[in-house]
Chains A and B, each alone.
Chain A
């Protein structure tokens, strides 16, 4: 028999109690998201390759 112990919650709790963890505000998260730009913009900058023209 094996058991798995997960200490992730404990680590987060410890960080929160010591003031070393905070949730980013909606505005902060939105600002980050805005910086990366929509998918369309990335697609425009890096368009997919054209269909290969192989001559085998």
Chain B
């Protein structure tokens, strides 16, 4: 797994509000320091961080080709170079450090150079759909011709994990959402855990607004089936999986723009 993808996956699970067990070491400098700590959140996502966010480097060859052909400006929330909140038993709590330098708060130069080598995300045993697969599926569904995306479009994607109940609670109270789409989603049967991707652009995400929404079943083990797609909507089209008939249904109904979900971590 490349360094970029490793950092993105770390960020996705942090955005999901999960505490991660992190292993860091200075093995890249042939050192012998190794330590475990906990990552519990991130710093506030400021407008400046969003403005300075660079276009995401796409690793998937199919997606890279589509993005290149359509000249799409693709931004990933997981690329935002903010700092994460670490709990390190050698230090006072809530150390704020970048992913690349998790031990910068140490005085010892050997420790300072430690990098994150592994992390463990505590997931429910039935959560089979991982962050990487969920993001690839959403990106391919969004960019693969199923939605009307014009050449040169700017897209900002924010992916996170949450529970069905928390998300429906947010939806039910979110009056910014189209009433029909909101009612449709809140009435859908969902598993206990879901992946949610909000689609926006830089200008709208700074206003905490999105206009595309994907909801995936995080407990779906079969990556080849669309059964993991609970809802996939962008602008005036949405798809959903009809479980009873095992079929995918395309609908024309505008979702409008809506306030993003901030119940996992405050301070977006």
Interface residues of A, Cβ cutoff 8 Å to B: 6-8, 11-12, 15, 20-24, 28-29, 32-33, 35-39, 42, 45-47, 49, 52-56
Are A32 and B146 in contact (CB-based, < 8 A)? yes
What residues of chain A lie closer than 8 Å to B117, measured between beta carbons?
Answer: 52-53
Partner of A52, one of B23, B35, B144: B23
Are B250 and A33 in contact (CB-based, < 8 A)? no
Complex interface bits, B160-191 against A, C-beta within 8 A gives 1, otherwise 0: 00000000000000000000100110011000
- Residue on B nearest A38 in the bound complex, by CB: B224
Interface residues of B, Cβ cutoff 8 Å to A: 1, 5, 23, 25, 27, 32-36, 59-60, 62, 117-118, 132-133, 136-137, 140-141, 144, 146, 180, 183-184, 187-188, 222-226, 239, 242, 245, 247-253
What residues of chain A lie closer than 8 Å to B239, measured between beta carbons?
Answer: 24
Are B225 and A8 in contact (CB-based, < 8 A)? no
User: Which secondary structure dominates where chain B touches chain A?
Assistant: mixed
With A22-B250, A32-B146 in contact, do A39 and B224 touch (Cβ < 8 Å)?
yes
Are B140 and A36 in contact (CB-based, < 8 A)? yes
What residues of chain B lie closer than 8 Å to A33, measured between beta carbons?
Answer: 224-226
Are A20 and B247 in contact (CB-based, < 8 A)? no
- Residue on A nearest B33 in the bound complex, by CB: A55
- Residue on A nearest B2 in the bound complex, by CB: A46
A53 to B32, CA, bound (A): 12
Chain A: minimal CB distance from B79 (Å): 17
A35 to B137, CA, bound (A): 9
Are B224 and A52 in contact (CB-based, < 8 A)? no
Are B34 and A54 in contact (CB-based, < 8 A)? yes
User: What is the number of contacts between chain A and chain B, taking CB atoms within 8 Å?
Assistant: 90
Partner of B34, one of A21, A45, A55: A55
Are A36 and B247 in contact (CB-based, < 8 A)? no
What residues of chain B lie closer than 8 Å to A37, measured between beta carbons?
Answer: 224
Are B144 and A29 in contact (CB-based, < 8 A)? no
Partner of B187, one of A6, A28, A38, A56: A6
Are B223 and A39 in contact (CB-based, < 8 A)? yes
- Residue on A nearest B133 in the bound complex, by CB: A42
A30 to B118, CA, bound (A): 37
Are B223 and A36 in contact (CB-based, < 8 A)? yes
Other A-B pairs, 18, CB within 8 Å; known A21-B252, A52-B117, A56-B36: A8-B184, A11-B183, A15-B252, A15-B253, A20-B252, A24-B248, A24-B249, A29-B247, A32-B141, A32-B248, A33-B226, A36-B137, A39-B223, A39-B224, A42-B223, A49-B118, A55-B34, A56-B34
Chain A: minimal CB distance from B268 (Å): 27
Are B184 and A24 in contact (CB-based, < 8 A)? no
